[in-house]
Structure 1
Amino acid sequence: MAPRAGQPGFQGLLIVAAALSQPAAPCPFQCYCFGGPKVLLRCASGAELRQPPQDVPPDARNLTIVGANLTVLRAAAFAGGDADGDGDQAGGVRLPLLNALRLTHNHIEVVEDGAFDGLPSLTALDLSHNPLRALGGGAFRGLRALRSLQLNYALVRGGPALLAVLDVALAPLAELRLLGLAGNALSRLPPAALRLARLEQLDVRFNALAGLGPDELRGLERDGGLSGPRLLLADNPLRCGCAARPLLAWLHNATERVPDARRLRCSAPRALLDRPLLDLDGARLRCADSGADARGEEAEAAGPELEASYVFFGLVLALIGLIFLMVLYLNRRGIQRWMRNLREACRDQMEGYHYRYEQDADPRRAPAPAAPAGSRATSPGSGL
């Protein structure tokens, strides 16, 4: 059983992890630094360093090389072997007490089989920020005590072939507790990492994981009721749909196993872009069509999105109404003047109609009736 919090082994692991997580500021760029019981810290220039330095004392406990041009780590590179591997001390033990080895930003492209042979006490190894393109299947074969391995931003250039070899290289690390694989464009979790019985933390942030399949989720669980490793999963392009249901259900049951679970956000489909994964309802996730499982094209039920559209439309209408009322208020004087002018015009028109009506109703102004046809007009002087 892996040691848990409060036990000496776990505390020692935390100390080693904290030491490796600190920046390389104590060791200047293009230098190598080492420390031990007698010498707390000693730095030397490593600008032209093309192989591990040979002047590190045998009692050194930690060694940091930053900004060198090592390019290739050959077999037994830290055990005294020369560049061709045929030195007098090749394969020997030159640094028997070395616990921590940091080799960041050293342009390392190839790590051959047995590159770390001769380091029996090594518990922490950091190869981050190196453009690895080839890794020997037996590169870590001599590191039986290794508990922390950092390969962050180191496997991008190697492609699928390097990831396949990584499974083989991790197999002998039975005591490994911490594994850092951040920033390596991984599309799946390395199966060998899930088989490490004592692994306590797996860092796969900033990769290309669209989700975790049922096999990977089963690999994160342990037999016998033991909890599996903690998983750092943030900053991956997760697809939130029917394929995300197993992962969502697993997160709800093991949220404490994923410290950054609240930072997990959807990158697809577009309707769920940047939505927190834990805020989704697994029962409402559905595939966009029957072929979505094969293509990874998923979507959530349209109900909540439609409701949001109605709310947005209502807000737009309210805004338009508010603007209209504001325009009316700002032009109230002009509107009052216009209404007054309109009323005066209507009154003048009505007075004109009333005057003509009165003229037409006066009997004195009525026209004389016409004489009947055939009658003869007589004058006043006529005797008739």
Structure 2
Amino acid sequence: MAPRAGQLGLHGLLLVAAALSQPAAPCPFQCYCFGGPKLLLRCASGAELRQPPRDVPPDARNLTIVGANLTVLRAAAFAGGDADGDGDQAAGVRLPLLNALRLTHNHIEVVEDGAFDGLPSLAALDLSHNPLRALGAGAFRGLPALRSLQLNHALVRGGPALLAALDAALAPLAELRLLGLAGNALSRLPPAALRLARLEQLDVSLNALTGLGPDELRALERDGGLPGPRLLLADNPLRCGCAARHLLAWLRNATERVPDARRLRCAAPRALLDRPLLDLDGARLRCAESGADARGEEAEAAGPELEASYVFFGLVLALIGLIFLMVLYLNRRGIQRWMRNLREACRDQMEGYHYRYEQDADPRRVPAPAAPAGSRATSPGSGL
């Protein structure tokens, strides 16, 4: 028994030595690799890196590419597909354990259909700060386990066509929990994002949202009383007119669903500029009639024109006042002469009144009163 036990121990040592002597997967030339329980690769080579590196170790868990010049992500770009864009010749799964992929600040403009095929374990994808102008409707079709998608500051240049493609690309992401769309000049919430059953947080801060309509608010509520996603809305130009009453009522009933609710401020009308939305009185936003919404919007739209007319009227008055002052200045000598003549005339008039007062005040110059009617005048020597 002892020799056999010794042989087993010797075989075990040989296996351990062979495992230790086996070389690890080399790090790509353009990247930095950090060892650990989950291999982390960071690739940042500026304009030299024009496509994802092909020699990424197959056991990589986290891959970061920052500051490259990728421009176009073709089909199966991370699965060994044809670099020239032949998506049908993808080489299959090459990074089966990749869990997180960060591709920020890489000048990516186009993401083709199936660009992320062959990454079955990918749970977090960050495409923020890329000037996207085209997104394939099937760009994310090969990501069944994706839970976090960040597209912050990435959709500004695409316009309505890119937003429509985004709706189609989000549809197959059934497991998505976090969606970041901050800083994209969105004027409405993406309908596909509101239909994601497992979405827990939607970040649409720093966009161009003027409010949320009743349909969008209803879409944020799920059937069966399940809690809807958290919504980040700060730094949007909200219009606090009549139409905002639905959003205000929803916020007061679901404040915990909007973590930045206290940061929501009014951008219009001017009377409520920079006022916190939650501090408004709901009674001031109610519409008495069904057409009040439209009239309120027209009044708010006419506000700037009315203000412009007031400004123009003020400028006209200021011009008239300036002309009047100029006329006074140019005629200052005549005005002084006129004032001097007026003063002399007033003095002469006052002197005349003073002389007449002095004459009337002397009792010797007061005339005798007239005799009453019917009396007979008597002479001094009549005796009567």
Same fold by TM-score greater than 0.5:
yes
Q: For residue 55 of structure 1, report the CA deviation from its aligned partner.
A: 1.9
Task: Please say which of residues 308-317 and 33-42 is displaced more in the overlay.
Answer: 308-317
Task: Please say which of residues 27-36 and 84-93 is displaced more in the overlay.
Answer: 27-36
CA contact (8 A) 2:44 2:68 kept: no
User: Gapped runs of 5+ residues in structure 1?
Assistant: none
How many residues in Structure 1 have an aligned counterpart in Structure 2? 384
Q: For residue 47 of structure 1, report the CA deviation from its aligned partner.
A: 3.4
Q: For residue 355 of structure 1, report the CA deviation from its aligned partner.
A: 19
User: Gapped runs of 5+ residues in structure 2?
Assistant: none
Question: What is the identity percentage for the equivalent residue pairs of Structure 1 and Structure 2?
Answer: 94
CA contact (8 A) 1:286 1:301 kept: no
CA contact (8 A) 2:43 2:64 kept: no
Task: Please say which of residues 39-48 and 57-66 is displaced more in the overlay.
Answer: 39-48
Q: For residue 88 of structure 1, report the CA deviation from its aligned partner.
A: 11
Distance 1:197 1:45 in 2: 39
Q: 1:6 to 1:75 in 2, by over 3 A?
A: farther
CA contact (8 A) 1:288 1:299 kept: no
Q: 1:309 to 1:251 in 2, by over 3 A?
A: farther
Distance 1:335 1:82 in 2: 94
Please give the per-residue CA displacement for 1:263-300, whole angstroms capped at 9, x wherever unaligned: 10111111111111101112211569987634872779
Q: For residue 216 of structure 1, report the CA deviation from its aligned partner.
A: 0.5
Q: For residue 224 of structure 1, report the CA deviation from its aligned partner.
A: 1.1
Task: Please say which of residues 336-345 and 119-128 is displaced more in the overlay.
Answer: 336-345
What corresponds to 2:228 in structure 1?
228
Q: 1:365 to 1:316 in 2, by over 3 A?
A: same
Higher helix share goes to which structure?
2
CA contact (8 A) 2:43 2:65 kept: no
Please give the per-residue CA displacement for 1:191-233, whole angstroms capped at 9, x wherever unaligned: 1101111100000001111110111001111111111000000
Q: 1:329 to 1:63 in 2, by over 3 A?
A: same
Detail structure 1 runs of 4+ shifted over 4 Å in the superposition: 1-36, 38-44, 86-89, 286-292, 298-384
CA contact (8 A) 1:32 1:45 kept: no
Q: For residue 31 of structure 1, report the CA deviation from its aligned partner.
A: 6.4
Task: Please say which of residues 155-164 and 17-26 is displaced more in the overlay.
Answer: 17-26
Please give the per-residue CA displacement for 1:323-378, whole angstroms capped at 9, x wherever unaligned: 99999999999999999999999999999999999999999999999999999999
CA contact (8 A) 1:241 1:298 kept: no
Q: For residue 82 of structure 1, report the CA deviation from its aligned partner.
A: 3.1
Task: Please say which of residues 276-285 and 350-359 is displaced more in the overlay.
Answer: 350-359
Q: 1:13 to 1:279 in 2, by over 3 A?
A: farther
SS at match of 1:297: helix
Distance 1:291 1:185 in 2: 29
Q: For residue 29 of structure 1, report the CA deviation from its aligned partner.
A: 16
Q: For residue 83 of structure 1, report the CA deviation from its aligned partner.
A: 1.7
Distance 1:57 1:155 in 2: 32
Task: Please say which of residues 96-105 and 349-358 is displaced more in the overlay.
Answer: 349-358
Structural RMSD (CA): 13.5
Q: Where do residues 1-384 of structure 1 align in structure 2 (5 Å cutoff)?
A: 37=37, 39=39, 45-86=45-86, 90-285=90-285, 293-294=293-294, 297=297
Task: Please say which of residues 170-179 and 337-346 is displaced more in the overlay.
Answer: 337-346
CA contact (8 A) 1:5 1:11 kept: no
Q: 1:25 to 1:184 in 2, by over 3 A?
A: farther
